[in-house]
Amino acid sequence: MLSFILRRLGTMALTMLCLTLIVFFLINLGPNLKKLAISQTEMHTSADQLENWLVDHGYRQNFFVRYGQWLGVLPKQPITDPATGKAAQRFSFCNDPVVPTFSGVLQGDFGCSTKFKTTVGSKLFPALGATGLLMFWVLAVMVPISLLIGILAGMREGSRTDRTLSVASIASTATPEYVSGVIFTVIFASWLGWLNGSAASASQGLTFYNFTLPVMTLAIYGIGYIARMTRASMVEVMTQQYIRTARLKGLSFGSVVVKHALRNALIAPFTVIMLQFPWLLTGVVIVEVMFRYQGFGYTLVEAAGNNDIDLLLGCSLVSVFIVLITQLISDVGYAFLNPRIRVQ
């Protein structure tokens, strides 16, 4: 198992290197750099002035040199102040060095946010914390409900309970976040007035009033998907020979389900639940913008809309890392839950 984990970590590092190189190339294409220069100067600035701004702030250096500086394997060079001719910080609102220094992702420096006028880390990590809190409550609601629905539906395939719960699961899975969010807002915020249609105040303090709608909107889609997978796994387990043998020995139906079927039926849903983390990270983009919740998704949209290159790179790095680490945890957990995989 240790050698497997070490091999996967090596693969993860290589994957992150390749993906970040691709993202770095796409974000630093000419049109994006031009839009950044316009946003940081004036709309009517001439083409020569825009080019001078890009040169002065280091955006016209060699591509691989800039990528190495961003990673932290090459020293980050200060810019030259055109007025004085002396070394100066690239942006006055960041802690950029004024002497050649190794200061990149490997050293914990994610760059400067040109939109929020601060370091990327000071904006990105609080946003991740806010989204992590949202994801925690979504999972706390989604996982127990979906597992209960799937188990109840799969215990007796073809029964009225199975058909009813399956229809409800399919309906929730077929409803995207931007549809369910609007429906919940109209019903619970506009008509009934029970909940707040904006979660902007949640950053100052979570309450049932301001935090329920985004949690419901994200959870409703995942509940149906996990419930369907759990049901399918439960139905398959209940048809196995050892289940029939246990029933023939005189064990009650409930005892057979709890002691023999449940653990094996939860192997497949475990993988699906772990894969919800990357989905939640992308799904919060719609929900956070809709409910004005200033988390990772909201920050990503703001960075993309304002050509905030360093912040976009930081968001992409976090996204890639979460996808890869959840897949690793899923594989390791699957091996522990399934003895046949562990033996192989």
Query: 103-117, 147-161, 260-274: which has the minimum mean pLDDT?
Result: 260-274
- pTM for the predicted model, two decimal places: 0.79
- The CA distance from 329 to 242, in Å, is 29
- Counted residue by residue, the chain has a size of 344
Indicate if the pLDDT at residue 269 is higher than 50.
yes
**Rounded mean pLDDT, 243-268:** 74
Helices (H), the chain: 2-27, 30-40, 47-56, 63-71, 120-155, 160-173, 177-184, 208-238, 241-248, 253-256, 262-265, 267-274, 276-291, 296-305, 309-337, 339-343
Which residue type does 140 have? A
Whether residue 227 is predicted with pLDDT greater than 70 in this model: the reply is: yes
Distance CA 6, CA 19 (A): 20
What percent of the chain lies above the pLDDT cut of 70?
Answer: 91
- What is the per-residue pLDDT for 268? 73
pLDDT band at 340 (very low <50, low <70, confident <90, very high): low
pLDDT of residue 343: 43
Residue 154: closest CA among 44, 264, 25, 12: 264
- pLDDT value of residue 204: 65
**Residue 112, strand partner residues:** 119
If pLDDT is split at 50, 70 and 90, which confidence band does 202 have? Answer: low
pLDDT at 334: 67
Rounded to an integer, the average pLDDT of 156-160 is 80
| Residue 135 structure tokens | 């994801």
What is the three-class DSSP state of 324?
A: helix
